[in-house]
Amino acid sequence: MRFQLATALTIASATLSVASPTFEAVSNWGKSNAGQKRPDHTSSRPNVKCHPHKPHVPPPSPAARHKVCYAKSHGDGKTDDTPYIMKALHDCNNGGHVVFREGVQYFIGTAMDLTFLNHIDLDIQGMWLFSNDTDYWQANSFPFVFQNVTSFFKLGGNDVNIYGGGTIDGNGQAWYDLYAKDIYTLRPVLFGVDGLKNSILSDLVLRYSPQYYHFVANSSNVIFDNINIAGGSNSANPAKNTDGWDTYRSTDITIQNSYIVNGDDCVAFKPNSTNILIQNLVCKGSHGISVGSLGQYVGQFDIVENVHVYNISMTDASDGARIKVWPNTASALSGDLQGGGGSGRVNNITYDTMYINNVDYAIEVDQCYGQKNLTLCLEYPSPLTITDIVFKNFIGKTSTKYQPQIGTFACSSSTVCNGIVASDINVVSPGGKNEAYCLNVDASTLDVVCTDVFKGFN
């Protein structure tokens, strides 16, 4: 039986009633739903369905595999198992099924280029544990071209299916402590995806990523289903920038039926993300489901288009639904994250059905990302257009941080923001207000009480 998000919707007289999912109902997401192991110790492939919404293209339909390979392990938690892993993947590529046995730890101390994979299943029943040799990984992890992203391994190829209910552990504590000392530390992404097509990743537990949990680049027709993400710091140094998913230069990506406890965006759509479906997520402690940040690099034209976000539970977060765009002037969010001056478009984005619980802003549209000086931001308005944006069927209560405001709709100029609609926004601040800061937008299309009092951006 596959886990379902326990959310009931009743829309009557323009009122949305949502039963928030309980922790117990969803915290087991990521555990294998494939049933009993076969006599050869392989897991049956999960039957992944996209429901209730369907992606723009037909989901992958992988063929049966006809060869089984078993990855070996030294089993001592300190000897590098990467050669064993690579051998099994090469032996079973082009039509095979690789088993990482239940109860076995695979210790990984070497960067792995897995972009050669083709028609293969990775049945991860045990644990992949990455070494905490921060010097090695900073010198050898795979760089991407966006921001400071690097990864332990690059997953690519065609018709790759990963499942099994096992755990991938980034051993992040060493990285959290190192980053607190040096913000220019290159922290690897736990799951680097580069050039993956027609593939399904499901029934996985991800823990303690040094930075993002997924960075999905240059990929198409990929589904993430039943993924369980969590892992904070056990020291005074927080686990920062631990986004659940970031998509980049990718199209037809579906992320669904998953449970995420993290310290940054639950999902973020980075430049040139199109035809994206997000549904049935529980997000705790995050920065929301975010478009952007965009417009960071001068001369770059960023596109995020045709995104549908449905049925999200957002708890203890800075934002629920968020669009963040850099202004048309150099700005610095932090020493290692600076930008501004790029252009592009955000078009046809829908956020439908979101349960808000102790969230600073239920909705945030921000064209001044990285720039705290609002006057300077308005002097240099972003050329990036934001059009045809829908927020609907939101319910719940925000935190006290910005009360009485429950959101902000702030465009740097009226010429770049058109068609922003917010309807059935049944979200209140702790004091019972439904106010929002509105700037350069059509207030008549927003189901909030607009005010010109600026409370500040996250």
Residue 375's φ and ψ, nearest 5 degrees, are: -60, -45
Q: Which residues pair with 201 in a beta bridge?
A: 162, 224
Annotated catalytic residue, options 119, 214, 287, 308: 287
Distance between first and last Cα of the chain: 40
Within 10 Å of residue 63's Cβ, how many Cβ atoms? 8
Q: Which of 230, 122, 165 is nearest to 33 (CA)?
A: 165
Q: Which residues pair with 1 in a beta bridge?
A: none
Q: Are 389 and 420 in contact (CB under 8 A)?
A: yes
Report the distance separating Cα 212 and Cα 439, nearest Å: 32
Structure tokens at 297: 């690099």
Q: How far is CA 70 from CA 111, 187, 421, in A?
A: 20, 30, 53
- 90 an active-site residue? no
Report the distance separating Cα 103 and Cα 122, nearest Å: 16
Q: Which residues pair with 79 in a beta bridge?
A: none
Beta strands in 132-234 (DSSP E): 142-143, 150-151, 153-163, 167-169, 188-189, 191-207, 214-217, 220-230
Q: Are 414 and 383 in contact (CB under 8 A)?
A: no
Find how far residue 169's CA is from the centre of its chain. Answer: 17
Report the distance separating Cα 56 and Cα 276, nearest Å: 8
Q: Are 20 and 9 in contact (CB under 8 A)?
A: no
Report the distance separating Cα 226 and Cα 258, nearest Å: 5
Active site residues: 287
